[in-house]
Amino acid sequence: MSDDAQHSSTVDAEHFVTLFDLQFLSLGISLYRSLLKHYPVAELWVVCLDEKVEFALRKLRLPKLHLIPLKTIESAELLEVKPTRSRAEYCWTLTPFTVEAVFSRNDFVRRVTYLDADLYFLDSPASFFVELETHKKQILISEHAYAPEYDQTETSGRFCVQFLTFSRDPAALEVAHWWQARCLECCSEVPVDGKFGDQKYLDDWPTLFGDVVHVAQKTEKTIAPWNVGHQLEKRNGPLDPVFYHFHGLRLYQGGYCRLYSGYQIPNEALYLYDIYLASLTESFQLLSGQGIQVSYPKRNRSPKELARLFKRKWYKTEAWRHLETASF
């Protein structure tokens, strides 16, 4: 583990960056371990959203993981908008700055891929980089690839920020700077005037920056709750994703885990959640072994929330699991 600006990475290393706070630490560790398992040349940088997660990661001293304390990337412009944004909105505002934060810390990094912390790799992402290089582009973005019944393109955008690659190239950095400026202007968690968070801006990239931006073609490799059932129907066979995006998964006091919410997940895809929960259990054990405690919020037991939960369980659009071995 290092946060040295010129750490000793190999020339052929592939660099990734994510950001999370202490409550997402176990998910972040599962991301890290799955990435290194399937792509050993990877090095992961983490923007630490609070000092507690920074302290925990320093204590763990994980190899090929590098820390970026939040305060080291908070410019005057970011600090100016911070009080006006919710926690989620500020996290999204930070995302366009993460890639350049890595470039500025290591002159030998030739390419950086931003990852959402709730991704889990089931195969190597190398094919995405081959595709990017084959098309001679400098930026790679991935579509939501919504199932028709869950299409939220109008509000949430065609593209998902989940896996987003930038090469160290003047044209690519120009796009990053454009994105930074837009997110400083507006990064609302509520759709407004055709904008939503950090990701609705990506809808314009193929038109504005078509010479630089490549859209990943293999949507069957980027699976999430909003498309897993549709992908199963299209394939008429088992899934073969590079990663699964565990959007909506949350941990609560007492060892409770909300697996997903707002989508129907076919029985044939539930094995993905079993794999992920096994990985999270290993993350919990690692943290417990190092004496690192994480506090999670209490479940909302209000009458309104219980009614909502009953409705979603009835329509099979939400599922929970009690993790009996979890120590939180």
Which parts of the chain fold into alpha helices (H)? 25-38, 51-60, 76-81, 87-105, 126-134, 153-156, 170-185, 205-208, 228-235, 270-289, 303-314
Question: Rounded CA gap, 226 and 175, in Å?
Answer: 28
Which range has the worst mean pLDDT, 8-17, 59-68, 77-86, 295-304?
A: 8-17
Question: Rounded CA gap, 247 and 263, in Å?
Answer: 10
For residue 51, what pLDDT is reported?
97
Output the DSSP codes for 192-259.
BTTB-TTTGGGGGHHHHSTTTEEE-S-GGGEE-TTTHHHHHHHHTS----SEEE-TT-EEETTTEEEE
- Give 167-220 pLDDT, tens digit per residue: 999 999 999 999 999 999 999 999 999 999 999 999 999 999 999 999 999 999
Report percent pLDDT > 70 for the chain. 97
For residue 8, what pLDDT is reported?
47
Instruction: Give the SS3 label for residue 327.
Output: coil
Q: Mean pLDDT in the chain?
A: 95
For residue 13, what pLDDT is reported?
94
Question: Rounded CA gap, 133 and 235, in Å?
Answer: 27
Question: Rounded CA gap, 73 and 273, in Å?
Answer: 34
Q: What's the pLDDT band for 276 if we cut at 50, 70, 90?
A: very high
Report percent pLDDT > 90 for the chain. 93
For residue 236, what pLDDT is reported?
79
Q: What's the pLDDT band for 267 if we cut at 50, 70, 90?
A: very high
Q: What's the pLDDT band for 85 if we cut at 50, 70, 90?
A: very high
- The class of domain 14-223 in CATH terms is alpha beta
Residue 7 pLDDT > 70: no
CB neighbours (10 Å) of residue 117? 20
Degrees to nearest 5, angle at CA 55 with 51 and 59: 170
Q: What average pLDDT does the segment 151-165 reach?
A: 97
For residue 2, what pLDDT is reported?
62
CB neighbours (10 Å) of residue 6? 10
Task: Tell me the pTM.
Answer: 0.96
Residue 135 pLDDT > 60: yes
> How far from 293 is each of 53, 102, 136, 285, CA to CA, in Å?
10, 28, 46, 11
For residue 160, what is the enclosing H or E element? strand 159-167
Q: What's the pLDDT band for 12 if we cut at 50, 70, 90?
A: confident
For residue 9, what pLDDT is reported?
57
Degrees to nearest 5, angle at CA 182 with 215 and 159: 25
Residue 242 pLDDT > 60: yes
Q: What average pLDDT does the segment 263-289 reach?
A: 96
Question: Rounded CA gap, 271 and 267, in Å?
Answer: 8
For residue 40, what pLDDT is reported?
98
Degrees to nearest 5, angle at CA 110 with 106 and 116: 85
Residue 225 pLDDT > 70: yes
Q: What's the pLDDT band for 38 if we cut at 50, 70, 90?
A: very high
Degrees to nearest 5, angle at CA 145 with 166 and 135: 40
For residue 243, what pLDDT is reported?
98
Question: Rounded CA gap, 129 and 111, in Å?
Answer: 10
For residue 318, what pLDDT is reported?
96
In the chain, ranges of CATH 3.90.550.10 domains: 14-223
> Starting at the edge strand that comes first in sequence, how are the strands of the sheet with 250-252 ordered?
250-252, 256-261, 318-322
